[in-house]
Amino acid sequence: MDMRVTGWYMGTGKYAGYVGGLNCMLETADGKIITCDVGSGLSDAQRMTWACDPSRIVGKIVQIGYHELTQSEENHGTNLYSLRFPRLIKVRTDKSETSEF
């Protein structure tokens, strides 16, 4: 799934001072809003580069791998979904728009 990076969060432990993960979002054609926080799949070099200059990743399109689309109990019956076990596959420099599958 290709999602837009809407923000990032600071890492802890080994990644203190670096990007810990990315906040991503996609709105589908049928109105679903899918969000996730992705910490897996980022290289140490990406974490350091993006921490120094977040504009290099925020607003960009990234390809996210995941196990399944889920909906929490509190969001049951709404259009809000998340991804189970998301991981960064790659930054999509060839795309400027999100896509579902």
d(CA 3, CA 64): 7
pTM of the model: 0.92
Q: What is the pLDDT of residues 23-53, one digit of tens each?
A: 999 999 999 999 999 999 999 999 999 999 9
Confidence at residue 101, expressed as pLDDT on a 0 to 100 scale: 63
Token reading at 34:
């899918």
* Strand order, beta sheet including 2-10: 68-70, 80-84, 33-38, 19-27, 2-10, 61-65, 87-91
What is the per-residue pLDDT across 61-79, written as a single tens digit (0 to 9) for each? Answer: 999 999 999 999 999 999 9
If pLDDT is split at 50, 70 and 90, which confidence band does 100 have? confident
Percent of the chain clearing pLDDT 90 (strictly above) = 91
Q: Which amino acid would we find at residue 62?
A: V
